[in-house]
Structure 1
Amino acid sequence: MSDNLIFKVVFINQNQVYEIYAKRVYQGEMFGFVVIEDFIFGETSSVVVDPYEEKLKTEFANVRRSFIPMHEIIRIDQVERRGTAKIIPLDRETGQSGKVTKFYVPEKS
């Protein structure tokens, strides 16, 4: 795989939609998990600071590899350049954000 590849990964985590960028994304050895490695975040010398990207940068600061359950992945795109990492809150009642609809999950009895 080329080192120039950049992937945008959109997934649900704790009632929020995370949109992050990474250099490596693949199916893990643990069944049902997607592995994300080599996270890419914006420059720290930027004058404008995005609080969501800073939160993601802090959350993944010491993470070498993240295992995301396959059923929480919404989309994986190979992109030409990195965008801004984002956190989009989900509406608790509908399970939707402005852009994303969560898959139906049966309620436990």
Structure 2
Amino acid sequence: MTRSKTALFKVVFHNHGKIYELYARQVSASDIWGFTEIGDLVFDVYDGVVVDPTEERLRDEFGNTRVLHVPMHSIVRIEEVEKKGQSAIRDAESGEKVVTPFPLPAKPR
């Protein structure tokens, strides 16, 4: 099955006790047996102020990655989507986001 170059996939997978949700343009079976190949990762690009710390953390971790090889048993779901949503890192147990979108105010002394 051929895909257009504008195809966009939401990939959800387990990684070190967390659930990662990334967006990519290419997803296929890897030449490495038992792995899924995820390439051309898509990140939002903002100048200046960091709008989404989760996106920033994911870009720091995977920004220089050409192709990500994820073990097939770690994949939770792969969806072909119309447009990019918000990337996320969640705790595998609770499903709560690991990175808080905005800093919490300091407790008064």
TM-score category of the 2 structures, normalised to the smaller one: 0.7 to 0.9
Relative to the length of structure 1, the TM-score reads 0.80
The Cα offsets for residues 15-64 of structure 1, whole Å up to 9 and x where unpaired, read as 11000000000000111100000000112237561111110011011110
Question: Is there any run of 5+ residues in structure 2 with no aligned partner, and where?
Answer: 97-109
* Stretches (4+) displaced over 6 A: none
Q: 1:51-66 alignment to 2 at 5 Å?
A: 51-66=53-68
Q: 2:73 aligns with which of 52, 68, 71?
A: 71
- Is the 8 Å Cα contact of residues 41 and 84 (structure 1) preserved in structure 2? no
Relative to the length of structure 2, the TM-score reads 0.80
Q: 1:97 aligns with which of 86, 95, 98?
A: 95
> 3-state SS of the aligned residue for 2:46?
coil
- In structure 2, the residue matched to 1:14 is 16
User: Do residues 31 (structure 1) and 29 (structure 2) align?
Assistant: no
> 3-state SS of the aligned residue for 1:44?
coil
- Is the 8 Å Cα contact of residues 42 and 84 (structure 1) preserved in structure 2? no
Question: Is there any run of 5+ residues in structure 1 with no aligned partner, and where?
Answer: 99-109
Query: Percent identity, aligned pairs only?
Result: 41
Change in Cα spacing, 1:84 to 1:46, as seen in structure 2 (3 Å) is: farther
Larger radius of gyration: 2
Amino acid in the other structure paired with 1:3: K
Aligned CA-pair RMSD: 1.5
